[in-house]
Amino acid sequence: MKVSGEMMNLLNPYKGLPKCVYVIFIAQIINRFGDFVNPFLVLFLTREFGYSMSKIGSIVMLTSLLAIPGSLLGGKVADHFGRKVGYILFQGIAGFSLFLCAFYYKTQFMLLFIMVSAFFNGAVRPIIRAILTDVLPDHQRQAGFSLSYLGINIGVAIGPMVAGFLFNRFLMLLFLGDAITSFIAILLVIFNIEESHPDKVKSNFEVAKEEAPVEGSIWHALFMRPKLILFLFFNIFFSATYVQSHFSLPLMMDDVFGRLGPEYYGSMISVNAVSVLVFTVALTQFSRHRAPILNIALSGVAYMVGFGMIAFINHLFMFYLATVIWTLGEILNAINFGVYVANQTPLNFRARFNAVTTLSYAVGSTLGTALMGIFIDHFGIRAVWGTTAGIALIGTLGILLVADKEKKGRDLAKNS
């Protein structure tokens, strides 16, 4: 009974949220559960078409980059025409593109459909964050963004197992399953979510001064918020740090454990997924009374420790421990980043601001892989981790600088 009571206390932040937040949570589970194609895209291109790794790398990079202009389009459409219509349109095109892949997967036409799907999936992401910002008052935003993040990871934890089964037995269903789950998510939105655009419906709560509508272009609105620009700049350092979990870490495992490296790296990714499911609720409760920007700075500390300690360890258990620590940083960043941006965003630019902020992740990931690849060639894989900890330290100090500027601004406003 005591354990049950403690669990219910942990779930308290998720109580009393608007209905559409729970709908988005379920839609995220379904969508990410059905994300069958992306985890196996490299293996598919190798087996079916026999492409070289350099060609596959270019295809995967292009697929990832297409999400950036897609998100900008999604943000503009959602701010001008509405969140719901934007979600249905873009998720529908993405799903239909995967549906076509099921009939053309033996031809190279499928690459076109994969890229179209990636572009429009990118368009959906800022729309979801804009809906959450529209319907959640400031004190519930962290819980709402946390629940959405949890839904993504529940789907990600289960989906690849099903995808692996389909990949070896029913390849056509790999694409059909991905498309079908997209259409199910669309139906959930059609029948359970009302339009939330602030210009089209009356909000149920007052918005803060920082969220008041402004005139002009998105760039004008953004440059009126220099602290947000500074925040996004320092977030690049966190993105460059986190991407090493996918880029440098498998190389490190191969260096330390030889032929067992890939197997052990796979188990570390499982530890990461389980840690997200286990700790997200607890960290939401832990961080709910602290300013989002301070929680993000704390995520940088977890990155420093989790990635930095890899330079000194050789035992598998310690790699698992490091994974848990940097995953805590991942969670804190994920559940607070959207909240901080939402609190700084004029309500008539919510979707577009969310689209622009994805650029800091994209820039960090791109630089983190390209520059670290050069670094590894010159200094070796074991030198990566001290450098990575240093990158995370710069990001942490930068975020704390922004937090200090905000505090001084509030103090000045109180005394004037």
Q: What is the pLDDT of residue 6?
A: 55
Least confident of 2-6, 42-46, 70-74, 166-170: 2-6
In a shared domain, residues 217 and 113: no
Q: With beta carbons less than 8 A apart as the criterion, state whether 96 and 44 touch.
A: no
Q: What is the pLDDT of residue 373?
A: 83
Q: What is the pLDDT of residue 401?
A: 95
Least confident of 10-14, 140-144, 401-405: 10-14
| 161 vs 382, higher pLDDT | 382
Q: With beta carbons less than 8 A apart as the criterion, state whether 344 and 224 touch.
A: no
| 416 vs 80, higher pLDDT | 80
All residues at 6 or more sequence positions from 144 whose CB lies less than 8 Å from its CB, including other chains: 17, 18, 21, 132, 135, 136
Mean pLDDT of 22-42: 82
Q: What is the pLDDT of residue 209?
A: 78
**Rounded Cα–Cα distance for residues 391 and 76 (Å):** 33
In a shared domain, residues 186 and 254: no
**Rounded Cα–Cα distance for residues 171 and 156 (Å):** 19
In a shared domain, residues 286 and 146: no
Percent of the chain with pLDDT over 70: 94
Q: With beta carbons less than 8 A apart as the criterion, state whether 335 and 292 touch.
A: no
In a shared domain, residues 329 and 242: yes
In a shared domain, residues 386 and 268: yes
- Is residue 146 domain-resident? yes
Instruction: Output the six-digit token pair for 73.
Output: 């389009």
**Rounded Cα–Cα distance for residues 331 and 333 (Å):** 5
Least confident of 144-153, 155-164, 277-286: 155-164
pLDDT band at 82; cut points 50, 70, 90: very high
Mean pLDDT (the chain) is 87
**Rounded Cα–Cα distance for residues 416 and 412 (Å):** 6
All residues at 6 or more sequence positions from 47 whose CB lies less than 8 Å from its CB, including other chains: none
Boundary of a domain, candidates 193, 226, 243: 193
| H runs (alpha helix) in 309-349 | 316-343
- Is residue 113 domain-resident? yes
> pLDDT of 291-310, one tens digit each?
999 999 999 999 999 999 99
In a shared domain, residues 296 and 354: yes
Q: Is the pLDDT of residue 36 over 70?
A: no
Q: How many domains does the chain have?
A: 2
**Rounded Cα–Cα distance for residues 178 and 173 (Å):** 8
- Is residue 124 domain-resident? yes
> pLDDT of 178-213, one tens digit each?
899 999 999 999 999 999 888 777 677 777 778 888
All residues at 6 or more sequence positions from 117 whose CB lies less than 8 Å from its CB, including other chains: 37, 93, 94, 95, 97, 98, 101
- Is residue 120 domain-resident? yes
Please tell me what DSSP assigns to residue 105: T
In a shared domain, residues 155 and 105: yes
> Which CATH number does the domain housing residue 32 bear?
1.20.1250.20
Q: What is the pLDDT of residue 7?
A: 53
Considering only CA atoms, give the Rg of the chain.
21
> pLDDT of 253-284, one tens digit each?
888 998 888 888 878 888 888 899 899 999 99
* Cβ neighbours of 9 (radius 10 Å): 10
Boundary of a domain, candidates 193, 225, 250: 193
Q: What is the pLDDT of residue 10?
A: 65
Q: Is the pLDDT of residue 33 over 70?
A: yes
Q: Dihedral through CA 238, CA 373, CA 36, CA 167, nearest 10?
A: -160
Q: What is the pLDDT of residue 12?
A: 79
Q: What is the pLDDT of residue 21?
A: 95
By residue range, what is the domain housing residue 246?
A: 213-416
| 247 vs 413, higher pLDDT | 247
pLDDT band at 169; cut points 50, 70, 90: confident
Mean pLDDT of 231-258: 90
**Rounded Cα–Cα distance for residues 74 and 90 (Å):** 8
